[in-house]
């Protein structure tokens, strides 16, 4: 580095000394000054070129200069190249990290030691309403202001995840939020969407509460009668007979409930795929007609209208249970002297089973919820008539397994029609027959 500039200065000095006898002292000094001035201008020019290049350092525009400057330039070029390589390695690593962050199924936010946002992934933008560009450097508690979150964050401990409810335009979302301290007082905030899990948990809790409630009443009645019978001294045969009859009614109510629960659990089990067979629906309806008459005990006029003799691809047992539930509801919710009609026929090429009654009907606001477990419009009427509150939930599950849908038309005070519409693919055509009527 020092060698070449010094040797140039020494060379100029030597030439000035040699020219001394020839040019005289003034001439030699003038020569020396001119040469040194030229050298200075040369360095100043290279310095200015280097300064200009530094404003936008690109390897292609690097001023190569000469002498020591050339050495300096090639040294800087090498440094520039190394720096570019490091930069590209870093940006590759960064983009790999960002891609991994974007692919994560959970929200991730990186906070600095003062809880300011350094980075967040797209899921965090979605769940917490953050913006990775806009909110960088922003205190996270300015954006997520829920007091439980602020308290959780200030605890500075991983601990149990915090369950946070976030309102979004698409509805409420439930998140499990956890902080993970790392490095020098930094934090990772992780957020997992547990909305579905929470909903299932609520359904499960409600279900257990409902079943317990349904079982408690009959058990209390049976327990009460047993105590009365025990205390009876001397036994009163008339009273005992009545108590035994009432206990029998309560135990059969519990049995029905347990049977319906078992049916539902079988239908819901993923290990129980639909066993398909050829179902003779007209035959089944004739048998169900008999059952309905037994249940009605002559209080209603019941008839079957067979517009089609087509069979169905499905499961006989499940369909009998679904159709039976609809028919038993029609009988139970239709006052004395009412009419009930079961119809089997084609509706726009779809095989349809419909039960029409002239019963109490249903207010429109209840219709969408009827297939929920234990949903009843009138609790006492359902219990009085021996309902478990699970009938339509069973119907819904059976129909889902057959890709069929339930249509409910009803007018309070005038009656209801429950129609089961099967997909065309389930039809087993057996040749159309003229409408055949079986009347009660
Ligand atoms: P339940 O055992 O109470 O009858 P379901 O699941 O079979 O339970 O029916 C749910 C509710 O739907 C019933 O409690 C009743 O209020 C109403 N419902 C069902 N079928 C009819 C009908 N044919 N007419 C009037 N209301 C009905």
What distance in angstroms lies between residue 351's CA and the mean position of ligand 1's atoms? 24
Q: What is the pLDDT of residue 437?
A: 44
User: Can you tell me the distance from the alpha carbon of 210 to that of 207, in angstroms, rounded to the nearest whole number?
Assistant: 5
CA of 251 to the centre of ligand 1 (A): 21
Q: Which of 12, 37, 17 is nearest to 27 (CA)?
A: 17
* 239 CA distance to ligand 1 middle (Å): 34
Ligand 1 probe mutation, 213, 253, 370, most atoms within 8 A of CB: 370
Q: Compute, in angstroms, the gap from residue 53 CA to the centroid of ligand 1.
A: 86
Choose which residue among 213, 329, 387 to substitute to test ligand 1 binding: the one with the highest number of ligand atoms within 8 A of its C-beta.
Answer: 329
Atom 25 in ligand 1: which residue has the minimum CA distance? 361
Q: What confidence tens digit (pLDDT) does each residue in 11-67 have?
A: 989 998 999 998 888 999 999 999 999 989 988 998 898 889 888 888 888 888 777
In angstroms, the CA 41 to CA 255 distance is 110
Centroid of ligand 1 to alpha carbon of 258 (angstroms): 18
Collapsed DSSP state (helix, strand, coil) of residue 57: coil
Per-residue confidence (pLDDT) for residue 431, from 0 to 100: 52
Give the Å distance between the CA of 175 and the centre of ligand 1: 36
Predicted pLDDT at 73: 85
Who lines ligand 1 at CB under 6 A? 325, 329-330, 333, 357, 359-362, 370, 375-378, 382, 387-393, 416
pLDDT at 58: 84
Locate the ligand 1 atom nearest the alpha carbon of residue 359 and give its number.
24
Q: Which residues of the chain have pLDDT under 70?
A: 1, 431-440
Q: Please tell me the distance between residue 329's alpha carbon and the centre of ligand 1 in angstroms.
A: 6
Identify which of 333, 374, 375, 410 to mutate to test ligand 1's pocket (most ligand atoms within 8 A of the CB): 333
CB 105 within 8 A of CB 121: no
| Closest CA to ligand 1's atom 3 | 389
Tokens coding 346: 């084609």
Atom of ligand 1 nearest to the CA of 325: 7
Reported as type and span, the H/E element at residue 19 is helix 3-55
Tell me how far the alpha carbon of residue 243 lies from the centroid of ligand 1, in angstroms. 29
CB of 306 closer than 8 Å to CB of 272: no
- Point out the ligand 1 atom lying closest to the alpha carbon of residue 387: 2
Full DSSP string of 369-409: TTTSTT--SSHHHHHHTT--S-HHHHHHHHHHHTT-EEEEE
d(CA 264, CA 372): 12
For the CA of 376, the nearest atom of ligand 1 = 14
User: Is CATH 3.30.420.40 correct for 104-193?
Assistant: no
H-helix or E-strand containing 86?
A: helix 68-103
Q: What pLDDT is attached to residue 101? A: 85
Nearest CA to ligand 1 atom 7: 391
352 Cα: distance to centroid of ligand 1 (angstroms):
20
Ligand 1 atom nearest to CA at 361: 25
Residue 150's pLDDT is 92
The sheet that has 277-279: what strands, in order across it? Answer: 277-279, 311-314, 427-428
The reported pTM is 0.69
* CATH 3.30.565.10 is held by the domain 277-439: yes
Which fold, 203-268? Helix Hairpins (1.10.287)
CB atoms within 10 A of CB 162: 18
Q: What are the beta bridge partners of residue 351?
A: 346
Residue nearest to atom 16 of ligand 1 (CA): 377
For the stretch 205-229, pLDDT in tens is: 999 999 999 899 899 999 999 998 8
Asked if residue 372 lies in contact with residue 366, where contact means CB atoms within 8 angstroms, the answer is no
């Amino acid at each position: 580095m020092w060698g070449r500039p010094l040797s140039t200065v020494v060379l100029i000095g030597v030439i000035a000394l040699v020219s001394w006898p020839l040019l005289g002292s003034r001439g030699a000094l003038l020569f020396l000054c001119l040469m040194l001035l030229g050298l200075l201008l040369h360095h100043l020019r290279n310095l200015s070129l280097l300064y200009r290049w530094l404003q936008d350092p690109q390897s292609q525009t690097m001023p190569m200069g000469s002498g020591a400057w050339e050495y300096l330039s090639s040294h800087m070029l090498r440094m520039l190249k190394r720096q570019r390589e490091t930069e590209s390695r870093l940006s590759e690593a960064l983009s790999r990290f960002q891609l991994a962050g974007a692919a994560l199924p959970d929200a991730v936010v990186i906070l600095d030691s003062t809880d300011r946002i350094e980075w967040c992934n797209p899921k965090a933008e979605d769940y917490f309403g953050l913006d990775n560009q806009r909110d960088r450097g922003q205190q996270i508690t300015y954006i997520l202001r829920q007091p439980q979150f602020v308290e959780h964050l200030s605890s500075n401990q991983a601990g149990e995840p915090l369950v946070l409810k976030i309102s979004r335009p698409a509805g409420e979302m439930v998140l499990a939020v956890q902080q993970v301290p790392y490095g020098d007082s930094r934090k990772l905030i992780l957020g997992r969407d547990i909305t579905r899990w929470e909903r299932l948990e609520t359904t499960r809790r409600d279900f257990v509460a409902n079943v317990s409630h349904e079982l408690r009443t009959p058990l209390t009645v049976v327990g009460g009668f047993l105590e009365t019978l025990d205390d009876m001294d001397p036994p009163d045969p008339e009273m005992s007979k009545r108590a035994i009859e009432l206990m029998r009614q309560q135990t059969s109510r519990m049995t029905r409930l347990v049977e319906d629960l078992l049916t539902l659990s079988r239908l819901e089990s993923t290990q129980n795929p639909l066993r398909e067979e050829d179902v003779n629906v007209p035959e089944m309806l004739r048998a169900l007609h008999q059952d309905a008459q037994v249940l009605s005990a002559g209080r209603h006029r019941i008839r079957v209208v067979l517009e089609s003799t087509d069979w169905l691809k499905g499961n006989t047992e499940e369909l009998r249970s679904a159709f039976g539930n609809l028919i038993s509801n029609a009988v139970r919710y239709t006052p004395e002297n009412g009419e009930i009609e079961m119809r089997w026929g084609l509706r726009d090429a779809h095989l349809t089973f419909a039960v029409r009654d002239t019963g109490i009907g249903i207010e429109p606001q209840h219709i969408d919820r009827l297939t929920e477990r234990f949903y009843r419009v009138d609790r006492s009427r359902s219990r009085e008539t021996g309902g478990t509150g699970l009938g339509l939930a069973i119907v819904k599950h059976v129909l889902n397994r057959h890709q069929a849908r339930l249509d409910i038309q009803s007018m309070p005070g005038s009656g209801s029609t429950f129609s089961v519409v099967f997909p065309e693919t389930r039809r087993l055509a057996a040749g159309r027959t003229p409408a055949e009527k079986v009347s009660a």
